[in-house]
């Protein structure tokens, strides 16, 4: 048996290196994600320097990011309290829904952002946006919240307050690839009565509904009113406005709102039903009966409830 000659070892190692490099070269260049078409009417460079900066402590990127945008929107933030509202010890982190409920518990409308064009539009309108990124590490990856405070269309960069950096520039492609990991989760926190730059009626009304459900009736009322300045015929906003006013004991205001809802959506059984209730409570029995009958006529998934309302007013 002929032995492998020792002098050939360095040559073999060199050959092995060449072969491995050739094989791995294909893995090294990942394709860049395609960017969506960006709006053409945006200012070319924006940086919201007025957004406060909270350097992140250990695993506290969620509370720190939320603190920055809440303080920007006018909330006096107590970091420890806020952390208790959103941080989950068992997960050593913050779950996205807790960022939403955390914003609402601090009396802010939590408006979701899910695409780069909408994100840039909000930032250009002066609204910082919290984003959830999946940052690559050597052996794994980390979920990380940061706040987008600006962008530059020419250099294709996003500016963030991230971790312990008050200004981190990240190119559009890297940003997109880290942001898309969790459905491009983004969040704007708006003071009650202010609107996002993005114009989606149902998304905004649902965001206000979350505030209403958190029992911030007065703030919900203000925000529904704001929604109606942009979408004057929104049935949902009129009904939400009526309910928020009713919760604050403003019966006359509730009647006005429900009446508007029935004017713009005569087929809405809920609007007629709630109108009937408030009218009956005010002792306007005749009008209440008319509204209750209209609700029953409208029918729909809540028809059973409408009949109960009618019977109650009839005194059955």
Partner 1 sequence: MQLFRTVPLLVAIIFLSATTFPSLSWSEMLDTGTALATQDARAKVLAQMERAEVVEYLAGQGLSQAEAESRINSLTDEEINSLAHDIDQYAGGHFDDSDDAKAMIGVLIGAAILVCLALCLILLI
**CA neighbours within 13 Å on the CB side: how many for 1?**
2
106/124 with CB nearer partner 1: 106
Contacts for 264 with CB less than 8 Å, ≥ 6 apart: 233, 234, 235, 238
CB of 66 to partner 1, least distance (A): 13
CB of 291 to partner 1, least distance (A): 12
How far apart, in whole angstroms, are the C-alpha atoms of residue 253 and residue 264? 17
How far apart, in whole angstroms, are the C-alpha atoms of residue 179 and residue 258? 41
Site for partner 1, rule CB under 8 A: 12, 15-16, 19-20, 23-24, 84-85, 88-93, 95, 97-98, 100-102, 104-105, 139-143, 182, 205-206, 209-210, 212-214, 236, 239-240, 243-244, 246, 268, 270-271, 273-274, 277-278, 280-281, 300-302, 305, 308-309, 312
186/240 with CB nearer partner 1: 240
CB of 65 to partner 1, least distance (A): 16
124/162 with CB nearer partner 1: 162
CB of 300 to partner 1, least distance (A): 7
User: Using CB atoms within 10 A of its CB, is residue 237 exposed (0-12), middle (13-18) or buried (19+)?
Assistant: buried
63/240 with CB nearer partner 1: 240
CB of 232 to partner 1, least distance (A): 18
- What is the total residue count of the chain? 316
122/212 with CB nearer partner 1: 212
- CA-wise closest residue to 116 among 35, 3, 209: 35
Residue pair 153/164 in contact by the 8 Å Cβ criterion? no
């Amino acid at each position: 048996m002929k032995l492998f000659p020792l002098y050939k070892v360095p040559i073999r190692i060199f050959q092995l290196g060449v072969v491995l490099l050739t094989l791995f070269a294909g893995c090294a260049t990942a394709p860049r994600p395609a960017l969506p078409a960006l709006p053409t009417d945006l200012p070319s460079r924006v940086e919201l320097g007025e957004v406060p900066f909270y350097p992140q402590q250990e695993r506290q990127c969620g509370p720190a990011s939320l603190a920055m945008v809440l303080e920007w929107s006018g909330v006096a933030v107590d970091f420890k309290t806020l952390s208790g509202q959103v941080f989950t010890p068992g997960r050593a982190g913050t779950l996205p829904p807790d960022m939403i409920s955390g914003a609402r518990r601090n009396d802010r409308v939590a408006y979701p952002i899910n695409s780069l064009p909408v994100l840039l539009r909000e930032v250009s309108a002066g609204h910082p946006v919290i984003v959830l990124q999946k940052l690559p590490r050597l052996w794994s990856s980390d979920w990380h919240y940061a706040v987008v405070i600006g962008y530059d269309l020419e250099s294709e960069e996003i500016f963030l307050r991230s971790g312990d950096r008050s200004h981190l520039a990240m190119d559009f492609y890297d940003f997109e690839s880290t942001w898309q990991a969790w459905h491009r989760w983004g969040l704007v926190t708006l003071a009650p009565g202010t609107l996002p730059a993005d114009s989606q009626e149902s998304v905004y009304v649902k965001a206000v509904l979350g505030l209403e459900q958190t029992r911030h009736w007065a703030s919900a009322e203000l925000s529904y009113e704001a929604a109606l300045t942009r979408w004057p015929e929104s049935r949902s906003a009129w009904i939400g406005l009526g309910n928020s006013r009713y919760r604050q004991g403003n019966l006359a205001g509730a009647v006005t709102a429900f009446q508007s809802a029935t004017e713009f959506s005569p087929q809405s059984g809920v609007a007629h039903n709630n109108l009937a209730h408030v009218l009956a409570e005010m002792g306007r029995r005749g009008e209440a009966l008319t509204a209750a009958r209209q609700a029953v006529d409208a029918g729909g998934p809540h028809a059973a409830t409408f009949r109960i309302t009618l019977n109650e007013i009839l005194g059955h």
